[in-house]
Structure 1
Amino acid sequence: MTALLPHGPAFIRAQRDSFEFPYLLANHAPMVLEAMRQMGASNARIADWYAAYVASKNVPPQAPPQGTLNADTWRGALGDRAREADLRDFFTAEAARLGPDGAIRLYLPEMAQGMAGSAIHPLMRMAYGVIGGNTAEIGHALGYWAATYLHVPLDHSATARTHDPLDVITGVYTLPGADSYQVEVDLLWHNIRAVCGLPGFASLAGSLDMVPDTPRQMAAAALALYAQTMDFSALHAVTGLHWLRTIAPHLDDPMPLYPVLWAIIASLIPKIGFPTLPTAEALEVMRQTPAPDWPAIFAAACASDDEHDISLTFSAYQEQQIWGDPLYQVVAARRVGLIT
């Protein structure tokens, strides 16, 4: 990794845009611009990418504020996208007052079960705020999380318990209604909301007992799922676990957030098409696929206009540094078209 450039004007402008663009799709720009910066893109390329993204997605500016929120009133705006500016202002001020670490520790645990909002992209924004050391972005992420809050049900009273995250995934294959609900084409969070609302889902999602090794197991399972399918929804399993791992050190106890994220990942199994999970032998074959070095993958990602090429590449790189699995490099190279 090369020395980081300072944030350019495009990043500053991106911070002023709305969290979402029509229709209720996540605005990736602030996070992708940070990922490009981390991967060594020039400020000129970052500016060009941002201009093209805003134009193609019709990203609007943030709507005007409706009224000031404070420590006693912000909860009344949970899940209200119309209060985006008010929530952003409140949490940005709190991040400045408490510091990014203090703001995350104080506010995120209370909102943890709302992680499904905007298809977990508030988690993405928070992670990239941490990666970039940007206090304002932590405030924006908390405001985004609050404005799009979508509850994930977890019933921890289920008598059948498991320590294996894959049991939750495979449980969706036989969950009544999971194979017949109406799949929403555009919005992942509509799929998440529909499957999370099925009878029995809360008990299934709440049956997972965390142990210290569970985050690693989840990362391995998410990578296997994506490597097998190269599916857009499965991509968010890999990236989402990177984002949660990134913010975990800023929480007193990050473990309760993992079952929430895993429930969200499990809820996308019907949209992915109930894929056959790969065997250990099949994964090893994929793992042995020759792939270019990371600088070449970074260059291809940063040359792409697809925000998910950039997001997946940087997350895969960061996850490989922690977990050591070369399959991350293979799927990143495949995602950006360097290998087949």
Structure 2
Amino acid sequence: MDDTSGTLDEALQRLHASGPERGGWLTNHAPMAVEALVRHGQAPAVHRWLDRYRAKLEDMPAPHSPITAADWRKALGDPARIADWARFFERETAERPWRVVLAEWWPRLLPGIAGGATHPVIRTGHAVRTLLTTEETAPRRTELAHALGYWAARHQPLPELTPLTPLTPASTAPTTPTAAAAAAALDAVPPVPDQEGGIRARLAQLTAFPRWGTAPDADTAHALLTELVTAATHRYATHGHGEPIMLVHAATAPNAVLRTLPALPRELWPASLSAAWAASAAVTAAYTPPEPAARKDTAHKDTALTAEEVFERAAAHGDDHTIKFTDTALDVGDPLALAAAVRSVELNPPAF
């Protein structure tokens, strides 16, 4: 990412007075979207995009009482403590290296990866990617603090799940992963019985997942997680119509974990894979359509576009989920991923 203009820091500073949600539970996607816009050469459009998004922002809620290292467990998963958690992580990342804070809190937060409809982990992934690949600045460090604070406030473990017949033996994860294996795992996820209502009502119905994505070591975990992101991105091309906005998270949530792995101790990678699989499978179960879309002869015609052209199309479309999904599709980078990104532009309503 080349941001010699300082646009990203300016945008983050504008946003850090805002809370991570609006209307009580809808997520503020702006920090994630502006990071993707800047990364893919759309910095000149960022402030104009923010001006139009401003109506969807709310001020950071009032704080209650400070969270400390001694009493944080009482506040975990309490959305009323969003501001308290943001301030806690601001202090933590100011006093200690951000990688140290992340490594300490990642295993604490990982069981609640589906909380906030997976948005907190996605925001964390964008923040970590910036810190790993660009200069560390105060606004970028604060962005990680607010992402982690949002995750802590919305932390919500999934129900206890029964493992279905494994697609690969739990003790012998494949050493040469293929996208087909992850795709088969996602296809085998049973949909929740009642596909009405919001994501919290749907996730409460989860009972079982295929056992997939266990890894004996860090390298296998990385390979399998890459495979999962690829498969979930590809799957959007044929299944995104089930719920075009929500199903992007089946790919963007595990990709956030994949982006974060380089900043984490390697011993945390296998557990990160398991959590990413749970998040992707949960979203798939909640919103998967009864039938995939029929493949048309013209399904891949837009993959003649370059990756840059596909992202330009998403940026012009303006929808925050579409921008973030296209950002993930560009990470995957193959023709079907780019076709899935174009499909997201077609399925989701323009932002403004």
TM normalised by structure 1 equals 0.82
The verdict on how the C-alpha distance between 1:308 and 1:4 changes in structure 2, with shifts beyond 3 A counting, is: farther
The reply on whether 1:303 has 2:313 as its aligned counterpart is no
Are the counterparts in 2 of residues 154 and 260 from structure 1 also a CA contact under 8 Å? no
The reply on whether 1:312 has 2:312 as its aligned counterpart is no
Partner of 1:74: 72
Structure 1 residues without counterparts, runs of 5 or longer:
none
Are the counterparts in 1 of residues 128 and 263 from structure 2 also a CA contact under 8 Å? no
The verdict on how the C-alpha distance between 1:86 and 1:284 changes in structure 2, with shifts beyond 3 A counting, is: farther
> Distance between the aligned counterparts of 1:299 and 1:170, measured in 2?
31
Query: How far did residue 269 of structure 1 move?
Result: 2.8
1:292 aligned to 295, 299, 305, which one?
305
Partner of 1:224: 234
Identity %: 26
The aligned length equals 315
Higher deviation after alignment, 141-150 or 329-338: 329-338
Higher deviation after alignment, 65-74 or 282-291: 282-291
SS at match of 1:195: coil
Superposed CA deviations along residues 161-211 of structure 1, whole A, max 9, x for unmatched, are 4425456534433x7xx3x32521xx43442x2233x3xx2xx35565336
> Distance between the aligned counterparts of 1:168 and 1:5, measured in 2?
43
Question: Over aligned residue pairs, what C-alpha RMSD do you find?
Answer: 2.9
Structure 2 residues without counterparts, runs of 5 or longer:
132-139, 169-180, 348-352
Superposed CA deviations along residues 203-231 of structure 1, whole A, max 9, x for unmatched, are x3556533614223312321232111234
Query: How far did residue 51 of structure 1 move?
Result: 2.0
The reply on whether 1:147 has 2:147 as its aligned counterpart is no
The verdict on how the C-alpha distance between 1:318 and 1:284 changes in structure 2, with shifts beyond 3 A counting, is: farther
The verdict on how the C-alpha distance between 1:208 and 1:295 changes in structure 2, with shifts beyond 3 A counting, is: closer
The verdict on how the C-alpha distance between 1:223 and 1:109 changes in structure 2, with shifts beyond 3 A counting, is: same
Superposed CA deviations along residues 292-332 of structure 1, whole A, max 9, x for unmatched, are 11222222222223112211121111232xxxx22122222
> Distance between the aligned counterparts of 2:307 and 2:212, measured in 1?
38
SS at match of 2:189: helix
Partner of 1:183: 196
Partner letter of residue 77 of structure 1?
A
Partner of 2:136: none
Superposed CA deviations along residues 224-253 of structure 1, whole A, max 9, x for unmatched, are 321112342332122222211100112222
Partner of 1:21: 22
The 5-angstrom pairing of residues 110-259 of structure 1 reads: 110-133=108-131, 134-153=140-159, 160-163=165-168, 165-166=182-183, 168-173=185-190, 178=192, 180-184=193-197, 187-191=198-202, 193-196=203-206, 198=207, 201=208, 204=209, 208-210=213-215, 212=220, 213-231=223-241, 232=244, 233-252=246-265, 253-259=268-274
TM normalised by structure 2 equals 0.79
Are the counterparts in 1 of residues 78 and 153 from structure 2 also a CA contact under 8 Å? yes
> Distance between the aligned counterparts of 2:37 and 2:51, measured in 1?
14
Are the counterparts in 2 of residues 292 and 333 from structure 1 also a CA contact under 8 Å? no
